[in-house]
Amino acid sequence: MLIKAGGKLKESDVTDEKLYLSRRQFMAGGAALALGSLLPAPSLAASPEDYPALTGYTKTKWGANEELTPFKDVTRYNNFYELGVDKGDPAENADALKVKPWSVKVEGEVGKPGEYAFEDLIKGIPLEERIYRLRCVEAWSMVIPWIGFPLSSILKKFEPLSKAKYVRMETIHAPEQLPGQRSRFSSIDWPYEEGLRIDEAMHPLTLMAIGLYGRTLPNQNGAPLRLVVPWKYGFKSIKSIVKIQFLESQPKTSWNSIAPQEYGFYANVNPKVDHPRWSQKTERRLPSGLFSVNRIDTQMFNGYGDEVGHLYAGMDLKRFY
């Protein structure tokens, strides 16, 4: 059931994290849009072959029987508000993001803080392909063949101290590159930030991805490295990470700061706890069109409950949503 005072909701109304960003940002972008329409449309890379190949990864059991969401949908239906508010904007603006050179700052309660070059960070860590479901809080979902490694394998390199109870991550802040960060009207207090409890961060399912479909990550999917937490709503899977902090207390997170009554710190996929404005009982599995919506039931913890349920034993998941 959709909950809204005074009338019915259309399907399009529900695809709306951008509700918080777009109304004002849309007007600010108006001038640029008008200019843009005079220019030839950019030619968008549409197949895996358009991206550099990744080699030497092993295939895993994860998602082996699932039907993959086509590459085109995985790379052209994105939420990456630094690159625009509409689903097609991140692909169109992808070239704005510069991913070379790239480094990650490591701070806080760790034995080995510092600034690590991307190449050093991933050196020596075996790459895996894992097919995971990603379920957005907007009630659409995809099945994506990620390439990456358990987040724990890099976190351990930094030697976390016992005081480290949470991990906070930050996305690149570069308004000169990223159109979404230039908008005076955006509700997000950049940079985008996310956090996990340390046991969630260290869980073997939590993936740091550097590729998909056998290729390096397209920028719109969060190049050069982005988190994938498959039992949580998509917004926890922070893109284009430049900072990792180990903290004693729970960090702020971008969506929780914008609308705390709608987006919690935990954000576990949960069909029993509805978003205040729509149901979370079902989802549209992409590709989804007007005539074949492809609606399926949403599973507790996005179907990963056997692996992660114990992390939340005894917690009231209506309160800690």
Ligand X SMILES: Nc1nc2c(c(=O)[nH]1)N[C@H]1C(S)=C(S)[C@@H](COP(=O)(O)O)O[C@H]1N2
Contacted by 239, from Mo ion, ligand X, none: CB < 5 to 8 Å by type: ligand X
The answer for residues whose C-beta is within 8 angstroms of residue 155's C-beta and 6 or more apart is 167, 201, 202, 244
Q: In the chain, which residue ranges form alpha helices assigned H by DSSP?
A: 11-14, 19-36, 71-76, 89-92, 118-122, 151-155, 179-182, 198-202, 254-258, 305-308
Q: Looking at beta carbons only, is 97 or 154 nearer to ligand X?
A: 97
**Residue 272 Cβ vs ligand X, minimum distance, rounded to whole Å:** 20
Note whether 235 binds Mo ion by CB under 5 A: yes
Q: Which residue is closest to ligand X by CB?
A: 234
- Round to whole Å and give the CA distance between 66 and 55: 22
Q: What is the largest distance, in Å, between two alpha-carbon atoms of the chain?
A: 58
Q: How far is CA 15 from the centre of its chain?
A: 15
Q: Which x/- pattern, by CB under 5 A, does the window 112-151 give for Mo ion?
A: ------------------------x---------------
Q: Is 55 annotated as a binding residue?
A: no
Nearer to ligand X, 160 or 209 (CB): 209
Residue 239 or 243: the one with the smaller Cβ distance to ligand X is: 239
The whole-angstrom separation of Cα 215 and Cα 45 is 13
Contact (Cβ atoms closer than 8 angstroms) between residue 181 and residue 190 = yes
**Which one, 160 or 180, has the nearer CB to ligand X?**
180
Residue 227 lies near Mo ion (rule: CB under 5 A): no
Q: Which does 171 bind (CB under 5 to 8 A by kind): ligand X, Mo ion, none?
A: ligand X
What tokens appear for 230 in the block?
A: 């498959």
Where is the binding site for Mo-molybdopterin, in residues? 78, 81-82, 136, 171, 221, 226, 237-239
Interface contacts to Mo ion, rule CB under 5 A: 79, 136, 234-235
